[in-house]
Amino acid sequence: MELKTYIVDGQRMTSREQAHAYLQEVLALPAWYGKNLDALYDCLTSLPACEIRLRNADAVRQMGEYGQKLLNVFRDAAAADRAIRLTEERAPELICTRCGRRVPASTRAAACTCGGLWELSYDLPPFSLEDVDRGQWNMFRYRRFMALDDDTSWRAVTMGEGMTPIIAFDDDVMLKMDYFMPTLSFKDRGAAALIAHCRSIGVDRVVQDSSGNAGNAVAAYCARAGIGCEIFVPEGASPKKIDMIRAHGAVCTVVPGSRDHCADVCRQKAESGVYYANHVYNPYFYEGTKTYIYEVFEQLGRMPDHLLIPVGNGTLFLGAMRALEHLLDSGAIRRMPQVIAAQSERCAPLMLAARRGEAEPAVITPEPTMAEGIAIGRPMRGAQILALAKKWDVRFISVPEDGILAARSDLARRGIYCEHTTAANLAAYRRCCAVYGKVSDCLITMCGAGLKSDH
């Protein structure tokens, strides 16, 4: 039976009247619940089996005697009724990766005033399969291990993302079919989590810059959530992707010039007060990509010895590493698998930095590559990626440009029609075997569908 979860945020209860209205709404209490705390006790103890996650109890306490009594009612009800599981926790916060400033997760600022990018901080319980909601056939079955602002927004947003199968490719390689997603790429994991967050905090309009799959994913989830959306794409972006963005009702603005210039134009718009739903800036995106690893663990009942992950901006890498650390800290796995990070040989600022032992991405001039999805010359979270790579001995491998078409063709002849950036993963795997010897028990992500990269 699914355990119903209620997230009760003390910050929403700073006066008696507010508390009354908020509790009635969030716990769906019957109309006869008044401001009377005895009635609240009766309501709580008559709830079906549930988990109540009580956040920011300090904010309630600041109401004085009434606040303290209110908290006691929750505790007394949980003590008397074994069907109620009460946990007290901090609310998610954003921490600046540069200066350490903390702000509530409901902040709408794209980055810290010092320019640093945000990182999420919240109480994360140890990973346990017991806490996976097996009644949900989407990635939110792992929501106990994701930062969520409430337990309702994701229900309005989910389109069944995640839960992608793992299939055998040959004796040594398994493929995780992560393009089996609503918008045909793994970016749906991040977009679903990010747009659920937007809905929770009442965002009604977002902007995003993307030349590829992330723009499609954000546009689709905004459509689902009823949130206005404008996607900025650089000139030369695939007409198919532009059509798809517009089909979701989003405004698609084509910006002349480079990809970097397109991002600058979009950020200017964000600075004027529109929410910046960007897959690199916004840490909620990584809450979604974490589920890639949780799924692998649940599906296989273990972690493969090797995980090959493509790295451009690192949206999958950062989420995956975080989830792996979580599994390790929780004792679910005994050792870290060998992570192999693939970068295009024509655009490898992280691989070069890692080989030189540097903490910041190397300054490079990217050359055109078919693996356009990972061709990021200046990854904004490069230092974070490099620090994790160093900590866990991640092996960087470059994608041979002349191996991409062959890999794509080999996959297609085995029934798998993926985009070039995805085929690059298999090309990287092959180079890895050529350089280091046979790599067995390796999981490779199939992150984008082929139809989207046929120009």
Residues that bind Zn ion (CB under 5 A): 96, 98-99, 101, 112, 114, 116
Return the number of the residue (109 or 251) whose C-beta is nearest Zn ion.
109
The half-sphere exposure of 404 on its side-chain side, counting CA atoms within 13 A, is: 22
| Least distance to Zn ion, CB of residue 140, Å | 31
CB closer to Zn ion, 25 vs 360: 360
Min separation Cβ 101 and Zn ion, Å:
5
Output the six-digit token pair for 330: 């929780």
d(CA 87, CA 78): 10
Q: Give ∠ CA 110-358-307 in degrees, rounded to 5.
A: 75
Q: What letter does residue 59 receive in the DSSP assignment?
A: H
- Smallest distance from the beta carbon of 111 to Zn ion, in angstroms? 8
- Cβ 103 to Zn ion shortest distance, Å: 10
Q: What is the DSSP string of 265-285?
A: HHHHHHHTT-EE--TTT-THH
Nearest distance, CB of residue 350 and Zn ion, angstroms? 23
Residue 28 vs 99, nearer CB to Zn ion: 99
DSSP 371-411: -GGG--SS-TTHHHHHHHHHHTTPEEEEEPHHHHHHHHHHH
Instruction: Tell me if residue 341 falls in helix, strand or coil.
Output: strand
Nearest approach in angstroms of CB 337 to Zn ion is: 33
Q: Which residues pair with 417 in a beta bridge?
A: none
- Residue 265 CB, nearest distance to Zn ion (Å)? 24
Q: Which is nearer to Zn ion, 91 or 94 (CB)?
A: 94
Can you name the residues that pair with 96 across neighbouring β-strands? 118
State which residue, 101 or 302, has the beta carbon closest to Zn ion: 101
Whose Cβ is closer to Zn ion: residue 94's or residue 146's? 94
If the CB atoms of residues 106 and 152 are measured against Zn ion, the closer one turns out to be: 106
Q: Which helix (H) or strand (E) holds 324?
A: helix 315-329
Q: How far is it, in rounded angstroms, from Cα 175 to Cα 170?
A: 9
> Cβ closer to Zn ion: 112 or 388?
112
Tell the smallest beta-carbon distance from residue 100 to Zn ion (Å). Answer: 7
Cβ-count burial 89-116 (b if 16+ within 10 Å, e if not): eebbbbbbbeeeeeeebbeeebbbeeee
Structure tokens that stand for 182 in this block: 């609503």
| Closer of 114 and 387 to Zn ion (Cβ) | 114
Please state whether 77 falls in left (phi above 0), alpha (psi between -120 and 50) or beta. alpha
SS3 194: helix
Q: What is the nearest approach in angstroms of Zn ion to the Cβ of residue 92? A: 17
Where would I find the H helices in 203-290?
A: 213-225, 239-247, 259-271, 284-289
